[in-house]
Structure 1
Amino acid sequence: DENEDEITVTEPKIRKQTEDSQSSMVSVFGMINSDDQGEDEYYARYWPLYRMIQKNDWRGVEDFVTNDPGALTAKTVAPGSTTIFHAIVESLVDVESYDATCLLDKLASRVYPPTLARKDVYGYTALYQCAGKGSLRALKVLVKYNPDLTTIRSTGNNLPIHEAAYNGHKNTFQYLLEVTRGVDIYSGNDGAKMLSCLIDASLYDVAFDLLKLHPTIGRDSIDSRRIVLNTLAQMPYAFASGSRLGRIPVEEEFVSSIQTNDNQNVDGDMENLIVTSKIHSQKSTGAMWHQSHWMLWNALMRLAPSTKAIHEQKLAHMQTVEIVRIICKEVIWTRHIGKLRWALFTAARLGIHEFVNEFIMAYNRTAIMLNKDGRNIFDVAVLHRREKVFNLIHRVNYTTNLFLIEGNSGNNILHLAAKLVPSSEVAGGHCRCSGSLAKMVQRTYAVEKLIHPDMVGDENSSNQTPREVFTQEHKDLVKEGEKWMKETASSCSVVAALIITVVFAAAFTVPGGSDSRGIPNLLHEKSFMIFAISDMLALFSSITSVLMFLGILTSRYAEDDFLVSLPRKLIIGLVALFFSIASMMVAFGATVHISLSHKWNLVIIPVALVGCVPVTLFAFLQFPLLLDMWLSTYGRGIIIDSSWRELASCDLVAKGN
């Protein structure tokens, strides 16, 4: 092995294996290939040390450095590269062991402090790399021998504490907060960047606590506010609106929330801003009720860890909203709104209605702010299908001329509503085509009611009215919806027709036969009456189902039909089909009971259990489709139900004023 290693160093171009070994060494030490004999000797001298580092042979490294003290500070051939000591540190930071820490301590004691502060080709010191990897033990050793390392910036003007925060190393970050001296890390862009890095790493609780302890962090200049708000505006998952928990009905009284006093001065005693609980609601009847709630909630979190995770995530959502609220307070909006505009419109585009709402509450002229395309936040919300952001319109003033502004392309807000929804909005769902098209038609009609009637027929720069834009943009989706509707109706019609055939024939071949006058012999039996009634209901309901599906097949399939007409027919058809299947199974069970009850009185029990299987299966398979259809047709509107007269009236007052 030793001979092969030697060949690798001294004859770098002889064999492919030699070249591979040479490139590995270059990747660690930053050395370059050269035919110069002096460089080959340099490689040969430190090649064994490289192998020891690569194999984590720290005892061998210590012996090598003891015999050759100059190895630690040896410079590589490539200018600006690290020393061998930095290469050792890079490997040691990934080894969280006592022996590795002791070795690093011994090696660092043999290196001059200026050498510890040397940067690699990327502009990082050894301590900066330790901060990024969260190696607290190695970081403490380096700070011990050179405390000034915490203030050395990278080429991106970042401090080690920023790197620790960005990578989510909470313990390392807390330690760097204590030992960083000589730089005011709580003010200016450094403070804002630190807060932003914590938010990027989803350490919302740490960011919020930092904001409580240092009220001016992220708020001492408009640039600092911009940095924090820009970060939050790009993180929809940090808010309830962008989380999967948004649809989970969690009782607020079980969720710790952030509350502030109405008369609180944020720049003053921020310690008064505390994390409290809404469990002290007015619905509570006393201390016993409060205590029982707490006991139940704590027991639930202990027994079900997922419940605790939901609780923590909901709390994090509230903390991010509170951070936005604090950052937005006491801004001189008339002077600095331009620098915060990007964050506002980004949040509106991503659907973070909590973020936009805090802007509206802090600045009552938010609604009339325009982006570079000449659009306000509600235009952006309609364009990107952010209904919850658009529904904030009832919280703003100055709504009289809100929709009179046309963008650079001449499109008013109704043109924007008529555009095709992004593919991400229609992905998934059982009634993707028809349900999505129904929502689009519903959205367009809702926006049409909010604008002045004079704008309904306006043309854009392409000489198209909103109706023409809608027809052109959705023609492919209409075809897909028509195809889906016809296929669904055809398949269900076949099933309904089979049921009609079976139950119609059963009506003339009654169980037990008939006498010469055609009267059933078992006419007075209860089971026979159940058979007759259920068979009749199955026939009538299946015929109704076929007629509904036939109406779908013969529809004209206009855009408006997808809003009410087609979904209503499909709902009635599916319900009637389900009812006919259930009635047919009841008729079958009654027939079996008539035939076998004289031998086994309990025959009805297994028949009923088995008969429930196909009925239940049909219900489970078709219920999601039925529910989607019902919600898209008769559910609550996705956009507020209002009119342009209400928006133009003086009764609407911003909630925050």
Structure 2
Amino acid sequence: MQDEDGNTALALAAIYGDINIARRFVNAEGGEELLAIQNKEGEIPLLMAANSGRKRMTRYLYLRTSSHVIDQQSSHNRVLLLERCIQAHIFDVALKLLKSYEELPIESLPILHQLARMTSAHLQPSLWQTIVYSLKNGKIFLFFLPNSNIQEESTIMDSCGLKSQNRERVLGHKNEFLQILWYYKDIISMFNSSQLREALVYDAMLEAAKHGNVEFINDMREANHDVLRAMDNHGRDIFSYAVLHRKHNVFQLMHTLCGNKDIISYTTDMFDNNLLHLAAHLGPLSDLNLRPGAALQMQREIQWFKVHSSSLVFSLSSAIYSPCIH
């Protein structure tokens, strides 16, 4: 039976995430046929579950739904499911979908933008963010993890007594995220500058800088060094986005990649702003609101300006014009 929208009872269970009901339907005699029934929009229950962000339901339905059913309408369904899984941070299912491809289709490249926008899913906090762990004995540990890798984070968590199951949950998403990026590196490595622009990879790099996603920037840079030339229509590059959006981890990464002396080439955007001008701009309100109170907000802005002005003034006064890419 289907309602006026073409949804079966299993489809409604998929949308609302009731996995016990879903199991009863699928395990009933002939129940697996429900997995293939499309609603009026041509969507099967698996796609609906992913679109609603139902992680457990998506995992269950993906295991029970055959690949033939997923592709029954068009091959676009697989890309759509991949996009929705990444958007909902269901990385384990996304990885299984990627492994099902012999070669990634070009139409999956826009997913790079979703990967670039992620900030918390892969657990890479910026200098201004902290991770807090509460232990059994009531002690609370606050520590920074700027530009750290999985091994370093695991060591810190061990020293703080974090349970192995919790550690796996914390680090699992990051590890899966890095594996997903690995699948896209092969495609990106074969692109020239015009192809990178047409596939909007440059735009994805700027999005990653805006959201503090250093893993994305570093992995794409390893695949194709040309991605570091990303620039928007206003003449602002990755450095500019890092400064303008207060992403210290991205700024530090680029600073490391470019060397201590040739931190930037002396360029300005279409408004004649250099990086020092951008550092003087008021930071994003959503970022400022992390610390309540106007005084603390101003203090943080001053600290940000001091840190970057010292580096930028040194570069500008030395008249270094060498670019980051060699």
TM over 0.5: yes
The 8 Å contact of residues 127 and 150 in structure 1, kept in 2 or not, is answered as no
Which AA in structure 2 matches 1:448?
A: V
1-structure distance, mates of 2:299, 2:311: 18
Partner of residue 165 from structure 1, selected from 50, 54, 57 = 50
Partner of residue 197 from structure 1, selected from 70, 81, 84 = 84
Q: Residues 188 and 164 of structure 1: is their aligned pair in 2 closer, same or farther, counting only changes over 3 Å?
A: same
Q: Tell me the residue number matched to 2:114.
A: 231
1-structure distance, mates of 2:184, 2:167: 26
Q: Residues 314 and 149 of structure 1: is their aligned pair in 2 closer, same or farther, counting only changes over 3 Å?
A: closer
User: Aligned with 1:240: secondary structure?
Assistant: coil
Partner of residue 206 from structure 2, selected from 345, 352, 359 = 345
Q: Residues 189 and 234 of structure 1: is their aligned pair in 2 closer, same or farther, counting only changes over 3 Å?
A: farther
Q: Does 1:208 align with 2:208?
A: no
Q: Tell me the residue number matched to 2:278.
A: 416
> Percentage identity across aligned positions?
22
The 8 Å contact of residues 262 and 322 in structure 2, kept in 1 or not, is answered as yes
Q: Residues 196 and 405 of structure 1: is their aligned pair in 2 closer, same or farther, counting only changes over 3 Å?
A: same
Partner of residue 441 from structure 1, selected from 306, 314, 318 = 306
Q: Does 1:333 align with 2:191?
A: yes
Task: Compute the displacement of 1:195 (Å).
Answer: 2.4
User: Aligned with 1:365: secondary structure?
Assistant: helix
1-structure distance, mates of 2:265, 2:152: 41
Q: Tell me the residue number matched to 1:320.
A: 177
Q: Residues 337 and 177 of structure 1: is their aligned pair in 2 closer, same or farther, counting only changes over 3 Å?
A: farther
**Structure 1 moving runs of 4+ over 6 Å:** none
2-structure distance, mates of 1:149, 1:251: 40
Q: Residues 380 and 132 of structure 1: is their aligned pair in 2 closer, same or farther, counting only changes over 3 Å?
A: same
Name the TM-score, length of structure 2 as normaliser.
Answer: 0.72
2-structure distance, mates of 1:251, 1:333: 28
User: Aligned with 2:302: secondary structure?
Assistant: helix
Which AA in structure 1 matches 2:244?
A: L
2-structure distance, mates of 1:440, 1:391: 14
**Residues 563-574 of structure 1: pairs in structure 2 closer than 5 A:** none
Q: Residues 440 and 400 of structure 1: is their aligned pair in 2 closer, same or farther, counting only changes over 3 Å?
A: closer
Q: Deviations over 1:543-582 (max 9, x none)?
A: xxxxxxxxxxxxxxxxxxxxxxxxxxxxxxxxxxxxxxxx
Task: Compute the displacement of 1:154 (Å).
Answer: 5.0
**Residues 100-249 of structure 1: pairs in structure 2 closer than 5 A:** 116=1, 118=2, 120-121=4-5, 124-134=7-17, 135-137=21-23, 139-140=25-26, 144=30, 147=33, 150=36, 152=38, 155=41, 158-166=43-51, 167-170=53-56, 173-180=59-66, 181-184=68-71, 188-211=75-98, 213-216=99-102, 220-227=104-111, 229-242=112-125, 244-245=130-131, 247-248=143-144
Q: Tell me the residue number matched to 1:466.
A: none
Query: Runs of 5+ in structure 2 lacking a partner?
Result: 133-142
User: Aligned with 2:84: secondary structure?
Assistant: helix
Q: Tell me the residue number matched to 1:309.
A: 166
Task: Compute the displacement of 1:233 (Å).
Answer: 2.3
Task: Compute the displacement of 1:392 (Å).
Answer: 2.6
The 8 Å contact of residues 195 and 207 in structure 1, kept in 2 or not, is answered as yes
Q: Residues 221 and 209 of structure 1: is their aligned pair in 2 closer, same or farther, counting only changes over 3 Å?
A: closer
Q: Residues 154 and 405 of structure 1: is their aligned pair in 2 closer, same or farther, counting only changes over 3 Å?
A: farther
Which AA in structure 2 matches 1:120?
A: E
Q: Residues 179 and 353 of structure 1: is their aligned pair in 2 closer, same or farther, counting only changes over 3 Å?
A: closer
The 8 Å contact of residues 209 and 247 in structure 2, kept in 1 or not, is answered as yes
**Residues 455-474 of structure 1: pairs in structure 2 closer than 5 A:** none
Which AA in structure 2 matches 1:407?
A: D
1-structure distance, mates of 2:174, 2:229: 28
Which AA in structure 2 matches 1:374?
A: G
2-structure distance, mates of 1:254, 1:435: 27
Q: Tell me the residue number matched to 2:137.
A: none
Q: Tell me the residue number matched to 2:252.
A: 391
The 8 Å contact of residues 351 and 381 in structure 1, kept in 2 or not, is answered as yes
User: RCO greater where, 1 or 2, for CA within 8 Å and sep 6 or more?
Assistant: 2
The 8 Å contact of residues 14 and 57 in structure 2, kept in 1 or not, is answered as no
2-structure distance, mates of 1:412, 1:312: 42
1-structure distance, mates of 2:167, 2:36: 37
Q: Residues 315 and 140 of structure 1: is their aligned pair in 2 closer, same or farther, counting only changes over 3 Å?
A: closer
1-structure distance, mates of 2:93, 2:231: 34
Q: Deviations over 1:452-480 (max 9, x none)?
A: x4xxxxxxxxxxxxxxxxxxxxxxxxxxx
Q: Deviations over 1:408-455 (max 9, x none)?
A: 32323332122223344444289723453133123223222234x4xx
Q: Does 1:365 align with 2:217?
A: no
Query: Runs of 5+ in structure 1 lacking a partner?
Result: 1-115, 257-278, 280-296, 454-642
The 8 Å contact of residues 136 and 172 in structure 1, kept in 2 or not, is answered as no
2-structure distance, mates of 1:414, 1:311: 41
Task: Compute the displacement of 1:138 (Å).
Answer: 5.2
Tell me how many residue pairs correspond in the alignment: 293
The 8 Å contact of residues 353 and 389 in structure 1, kept in 2 or not, is answered as yes
Q: Residues 308 and 148 of structure 1: is their aligned pair in 2 closer, same or farther, counting only changes over 3 Å?
A: closer
1-structure distance, mates of 2:115, 2:213: 10
Q: Deviations over 1:219-265 (max 9, x none)?
A: 622221222x2222232111222474394569955877xxxxxxxxx
Which AA in structure 2 matches 1:202?
A: H
